[in-house]
Amino acid sequence: MDLDAFAWLLTDDGQRLLARTTEMTMSEESGKGSALAVQTALRKDEAAERVAAAMTQVDLRRKAAAKFGDLAPRMYFTPDGLEQATRLAVAHHRAARLRAFEAGSVIDLGCGIGGDLIASSRAGLTAAGVDRDPERVAVAQANLDALGLPGAVTVADATGVDHSPFDVAYADPARRGARGRVFSAEGWSPPWSWVETLFARDACVKVAPGIPHDLVPDKVEAEWVSDRGEVKEAALWSGSLASTHRRATVIGERGLATLTSEDDPGAEVGAVAEFLYEPDGAVIRAGLVTAVAAGVQGHLIDEHIAYVASSASFETPFARGYQVLEELPYRDKQLKAALRERGIGKLTIKKRGVQVVPEQLRKRLALSGSEEATIVLTRVAGEGTCLLVRPF
């Protein structure tokens, strides 16, 4: 990113170019998506690097709508900064938790373009951010300003910052290096050994959802968060912010629901029943499938498989529910015949705990017919099992 061109973009002239670029990109006349036509037209009046800066922002704002919704058209991004930013729904939940613990101030140690910082500031916390990358600092500050939010951002190495004046230290270490995703926590930036030092105080650290449970220190709460069915992250809460051992938080159309290890009495293993529940990914990652089983008066169908069976039908935010219509043959040939018999031409294949590639199976089944159906392929008492189900 050209920092001078970005700084210019924030001036009145820059804002006029940005507005014009947005308008032209969206207008029918220029032919939607005809970036070259827009660029050529704009370059008649403005320097190439300024036009490039404006076009980049217009493109990134469009891409950012999925994460930042209505705020995206007013915000600024870098491509990597957008990719690494926390989506607003998840960042808002975190900020709301901080408020609930009566935190008044937070320092974001590696704030990127400000995804979490913005949410903290919107929640009314005094929010300060540091990042070692001057481009991201410029963008994060521009975002606070553009949204009319208080907060300050500076260029600094987070590992040398005195965070003690703040109620909470927050970090979201970069898990991508120059060569792609970094899997070892010590390879994160800042690394795990530094993250651990934060756990001596009230802190929150965003980590990969795949974090091994045994890496989470005692007395630190691990919270897995999903947004509209997709697991987005885990957050580790320490000091007075930790309120349980493991938690699954599910953000959905109807709001937010949370389940903790205290809600988990464990569950038995038993037979398939009239209803089947497929727990949300955050619940599975948090190891709370048995808590869902308890919540729907059910049991597991296999000790190691994340399906719950119950004879009761429940609406729960923690799982998708299905009515089991019948058991079908598991073997390809007999299954193909059974589906033909029922006129099933469109099939959703769900599977857990069995070696099946749904796309390959679908080809082998050579479906034909006008009916739609869902099957679940799994293991029950060690045996491959196929269930014809109907989503609630």
Ligand X SMILES: C[S@@+](CC[C@H](N)C(=O)[O-])C[C@H]1O[C@@H](n2cnc3c(N)ncnc32)[C@H](O)[C@@H]1O
Does the footprint of ligand X cover residue 114 (CB under 6 A)?
yes
With CB under 6 A as the rule, give the number of residues binding ligand X: 22
Alpha-carbon distance 39 to 301, whole Å? Answer: 59
Least Å distance, CB 160 to ligand X, is 8
Give the residue, chosen from 14, 110, 279, 295, that forms a contact with ligand X under the rule CB under 6 A. 110
Least Å distance, CB 217 to ligand X, is 21
Give the residue, chosen from 72, 113, 207, 344, that forms a contact with ligand X under the rule CB under 6 A. 113
Among residues 196 and 263, whose Cβ is nearest to ligand X?
Answer: 196
Does the footprint of ligand X cover residue 151 (CB under 6 A)?
no
Residues 6+ apart with CB under 8 A from 151: 117, 120, 121, 126, 127, 128, 129, 144
Radius of gyration of the chain (CA): 25
Does the footprint of ligand X cover residue 122 (CB under 6 A)?
no
Least Å distance, CB 238 to ligand X, is 17
Give the residue, chosen from 84, 105, 244, 374, that forms a contact with ligand X under the rule CB under 6 A. 84
DSSP-derived secondary structure for 90-139: HHHHHHHHHHHTT--EEEEET-TTSHHHHHHHHTT-EEEEEES-HHHHHH
Alpha-carbon distance 169 to 150, whole Å? Answer: 18
Give the residue, chosen from 51, 75, 85, 235, that forms a contact with ligand X under the rule CB under 6 A. 85
Q: How many helices (H) does the chain have, and how many strands (E)? A: 13, 18
Least Å distance, CB 235 to ligand X, is 11
Angle, to 10 degrees, between the axis of helix 12-26 and the axis of helix 48-68? 70
Point out the residue whose Cβ comes nearest to ligand X: 115
Among residues 96 and 349, whose Cβ is nearest to ligand X?
Answer: 96
DSSP-derived secondary structure for 20-38: HHHHHHH-STT-TT-HHHH
Give the residue, chosen from 51, 72, 95, 116, that forms a contact with ligand X under the rule CB under 6 A. 116
Only segment of 18-26, 108-116, 218-226, 234-242 that touches ligand X (CB under 6 A)? 108-116
Does the footprint of ligand X cover residue 233 (CB under 6 A)?
no
Does the footprint of ligand X cover residue 209 (CB under 6 A)?
no
Report which of 290, 314, 307, 318 is spatially closest to residue 381, judged by C-alpha positions. 307
Strand 255-260 relative to strand 246-252, pairing: antiparallel
Q: Which parts of 153-182 interact with ligand X (CB under 6 A)?
A: 157-159, 172, 174
Among residues 181 and 304, whose Cβ is nearest to ligand X?
Answer: 181
Only segment of 152-160, 207-215, 243-251, 360-368 that touches ligand X (CB under 6 A)? 152-160
- Tell me the backbone φ, ψ of residue 301, rounded to 5 degrees: -100, -10
Contact 237, 103 (CB under 8 A): no
Does the footprint of ligand X cover residue 115 (CB under 6 A)?
yes
Q: Which parts of 275-304 interact with ligand X (CB under 6 A)?
A: none
Contact 46, 104 (CB under 8 A): no
Only segment of 33-41, 111-119, 358-366, 376-384 that touches ligand X (CB under 6 A)? 111-119
Q: Which parts of 124-143 interact with ligand X (CB under 6 A)?
A: 130-133, 136
Angle, to 10 degrees, between the axis of helix 115-122 and the axis of helix 88-100? 50
Contact residues toward ligand X (CB under 6 A) are 84-86, 110-116, 130-133, 136, 157-159, 172, 174, 189-190
